[in-house]
Structure 1
């Protein structure tokens, strides 16, 4: 015999079409999902990173302002307060903001938050500033 029957090839291509189309559809869907996932991941990272940066910047501005106000104070409590403020400022300045994949990022952020609460306690200021952030909006 000369070779395979042409009708067998035709039936094979028809019977295997389901498998071929399923495989092609899976690859197209996988590639599209990967592309959309990267876009959504970047958006989520930018939003979350912005929130963390705003929070840390608030703590820094708060601590720096109080440090400037207390530098020339002769109050007995001012020394302890200044030392705690300087510790908070040092923690913020050494905060790893250039490596978002850092394994210590969350731990460092928790330490900064804890130190901020300690500072607020020393000043008898409530440490919950969520109301300030919820009602303030920037409009241009």
Structure 2
């Protein structure tokens, strides 16, 4: 008779434990899927921004190489610096601990180059489009 009551009393604890394990497994699975979506979205945004900056820098570098004005050497050095920073950026390592710090440095150098070239830049990414306006 005591075994019958033990089964009834312990049922709540057993069901609670089983429910917890099922919830933990499902939550972990859902969290992984959400994390992948979030990472892909933000990785694509970051890649778009950096790719745009690199294309901008390479184009201006090419244009300024054709000019022989003395004042362009400072602009070319700034562009070389920006291109170097972008090329050293660790695209393949999402666990890189200075990822955000390096990205901010690239953004700062990009703004500096735009200022030197007398170009107003506004790089923004939203859900519908990405744009760099001048």
TM-score over 0.5 for the pair? yes
Q: Give the number of equivalent residue pairs.
A: 129
Q: Report matched runs for 1:1-140 at 5 Å.
A: 7-130=1-124, 136=129
Q: Any gaps of 5 or more consecutive residues in structure 1? A: 1-6
Between the aligned partners of 1:47 and 1:22, the Cα distance in structure 2 is 37
Residue deviations 1:80-120 (CA, integer Å, cap 9, x gap): 11110010000000001110011011111010000000000
Secondary structure, in 3 states, of the residue corresponding to 1:129? strand
Tell me which protein shows more strand as a share of its residues: 2
State which structure, 1 or 2, has the greater radius of gyration over its C-alpha atoms.
1
Whether the aligned pair in 1 keeps the contact of 2:79 and 2:113 (CA below 8 Å) is yes
Secondary structure, in 3 states, of the residue corresponding to 2:122? coil
Q: CA RMSD in A?
A: 1.4
Q: Any gaps of 5 or more consecutive residues in structure 2? A: none
Runs of 4+ off more than 6 Å: none
